[in-house]
Structure 1
């Protein structure tokens, strides 16, 4: 009974972070903020999929939901790598 409420709160927090980074991207046009925004939106989507589809999946296929989270984390790592790589030429 409390789990759907907490899932909704966590999803709202992820989407608020996505909007936060989207606002900074629109102001600065820095690709790091755009990729962070996309990653947090994907984590919010993962939370929704886990709440809606997760209970209906059997335990052998539940791990497929974590692919969305893996893509989001890889986006964050790629954004940080891209930002650091772009700064090397200006030294």
Structure 2
């Protein structure tokens, strides 16, 4: 189980990831650019990852299935950036 300090920081990090996701969602609503939606979804996955870590009490997160959420979030960001760069070259 996580200590009180560790739980606090895990919760704070989850909240900050959620705020970042909402920030990108606001930009997506304004521009309808897929890059912003990809970033919003990635940060939502990162927030979910932190929430599950706090509630699950995993001893070694890198050896659990929860690590796949973080991997998916970073793959989503990489794919969005590559897609955006390819769109820019085609114009």
TM-score (norm 2): 0.89
What is the aligned partner in structure 1 of residue 5 from structure 2?
Answer: 2
Does 2:76 align with 1:67?
no
CA RMSD of aligned residues (A): 1.8
Count of paired positions:
88
CA offsets 1:50-76 (integer angstroms, 9 cap, x no match): 1111x2x575x9431100000000000
Structure 1 unmatched runs, 5+: none
Q: Which residue of 2 aligns with 1:83?
A: 84
2: CA distance, partners of 1:62 / 1:9: 23
Inter-partner Cα distance in structure 2 for 1:31 and 1:79: 8
Query: Which consecutive unaligned segments of at least 5 residues does structure 2 have?
Result: none
Cα distance in 1 for partners of 2:43, 2:5 equals 23
Q: Helix, strand or coil for the counterpart of 1:2?
A: helix
Q: Does 1:46 align with 2:32?
A: no
Cα deviation, residue 18, structure 1: 0.1
* Counterparts of 1:16 and 1:36, CA distance in 2: 12
In the alignment, the residues of structure 2 paired with residue 80 and residue 62 of structure 1 have an alpha-carbon distance, to the nearest angstrom, of 28
Runs of 4+ aligned residues of structure 1 deviating over 3 Å after TM superposition are none
CA displacement at 1:3 relative to structure 2: 1.4
User: How many Å separate the matches in 2 of 1:17 and 1:4?
Assistant: 20
Corresponding position of 1:19: 22
